[in-house]
Amino acid sequence: MDTGREAAITPEEAVSTTEWARSRSRSVVSETVERLENVGEIDIAEPAVSVSIRVTCEACGRSYTIQDLLAAGGCACNRERGGTDGE
């Protein structure tokens, strides 16, 4: 009875899954940089790896964090088309 189970997601779950993936990516890349330093391929005193997850709407080119996208409820270009703000 798990039909549609993947579709059921809360905003909180989406944010925490994204955050998990972001910090996982960062630590994998950090370890890789450390290994490169260990074998002498690179020389960097204090490497700090950062990863940012962005979602781009290819219809208009705007990009969002998951949090921004959730807060906005979608891309601004959808609202422009919908015209719910009386403009």
User: Please, what is the minimum distance in Å from the beta carbon of residue 76 to Zn ion?
Assistant: 6
With contacts defined by CB under 5 A, how many residues of the chain interact with Zn ion?
5
Inter-residue contact 13 to 3 (CB < 8 Å): no
28 binds Zn ion (CB under 5 A): no
Which 39-78 positions form the footprint of Zn ion (CB under 5 A)?
57, 59-60, 75, 77
Nearest to 33 by CA among 20, 45, 19: 45
Q: Which is nearer to Zn ion, 72 or 77 (CB)?
A: 77
φ, ψ dihedrals at 59, nearest 5°:
-70, -35
Q: Find out whether 33 and 48 touch, Cβ atoms under 8 Å.
A: no
Separation of alpha carbons 66 and 11, rounded Å: 9
CB-nearer residue toward Zn ion: 28 or 60: 60
- Work out how close the CB of 7 gets to Zn ion at its nearest, in angstroms, rounded to a whole number: 22
Q: Which residues make up the interface to Zn ion (CB under 5 A)?
A: 57, 59-60, 75, 77
